[in-house]
Structure 1
């Protein structure tokens, strides 16, 4: 019988009070990028906000709970931006939207940081077996960064994968790992590079005993990229059915899927709150299109991070995902 798991890709919006407090504490506009030097008051504010978003997920009834990545002002580039071997330079547009991050320029050999592990340790104290870790996938992280040390795209991607492996090995016990890979869609790898991207993802996935979900978004993967991704030893591939239905269905029908699947069916960027029954119906529609309908695990999630949403709408989306998963479980039974 299929298990339905409600979750998110993380990267949450800050609670409204935290935006105001952190704006005052940092002494500049609340959406400006921080220097990375956080005093005790800023750390305490982030800790309180983390506690809140973990509790909000639990209250909503989500099956997997993420740390929230509230400190990730540089979005998916954050794990590099806090590394001693990286210089954060000019402001760069975050893919094709109105958010920005500091360009992480790798100037020396990447070494262990432990920054994300520390955040997860704090969240794990509040969870009981439902913790989900979130990391940028190696291809996306390499794509968002600038290399001034390794000198070769293949070597740089390999170094990023090695770095993420080391970070991941320090994580507390977690049930699931989401590797976020929007660059596989937004800046698709060329021939040869697509195979290296799959190998890098495979290497990172091998550093955890948790179930690994690779979540691309903002569209559908090109055929060869998808086919190579299926070669990686991962548990599930994610599909953004909000941004692109036709090409995602084609990939499923033409190349099949992993035993588990992650379905981005709620819009992580729209303030329109979906109906739980509608999401359950969309799950059934996907199953009707897919060559198999007996996935072992189906993750129900937003198609993108929810950073873009007003906090109240974000809370509503969590409740919708949890209820949709429950409805799907009942119907399957």
Structure 2
């Protein structure tokens, strides 16, 4: 049996209905659905309880608002299925693909493709191109997770629940960004048996959701989280048997992503007028160790890094204005 775990926080009712209805299209798979209400407004609880009245395998749980990581952890704890499948409450599953799934008993993690839907445009995302190689192993998959953001999310994956419990794998409630990737890296470091199914089982509806509230509430923790994830990736990389050129390639990608994330956070903070002295000091503290690896990155990453390293905040502000204009034009073309 599969336990579908759906964290809910003030999701629009029509999106909740869309999500739940996609699961009800399953005809052969044995499953349960755990709705974890993370302290939503009361009408969400009323809607969910009313919806599930006719479905004995849907269960509703309400908790105080503590974030999606705690909600998912509660779902893992309460689940009765051998496997768990996480769903975001504004997304849907492809029931036809999951209905035909046959799982081997010793499988710990199953990876699937998904469909990205944005402004009514659809794009199929094939998450593991390495599968085209004649031979691949856990190392190949770990390397993909280190640089392929399409693999970050916990959805479009099936996890063996006992594997998670046995290895004490949970979502880190202290992380405010990158908690999904952190969870998956923890899974990989416990040497799971992995299967990749080349089928779309999940529809990811991406919308332009502002990260403003998270920035205002957690700006310094965001910087720390980017640094934490970079260190974790580099530590994992150091344990893998790679030649020098391979290692440099992955170092370049890992460091570049962190520098880009921090640089963009500075621009957003400047726009919100919260680029405080403490925040600047936090940035300086969290990019200091990157100096030894910055030589492996491209020109634009080096430029971002040294603008931060030499505290050229005015220039960063000007770059931010051009970035804002660029994003506006790009979105208009979508």
Normalization by structure 1: what TM-score?
Answer: 0.29
Normalization by structure 2: what TM-score?
Answer: 0.29
Q: Which structure's CA Rg is the greater one?
A: 2
The structure that is helix-richer by fraction is 2
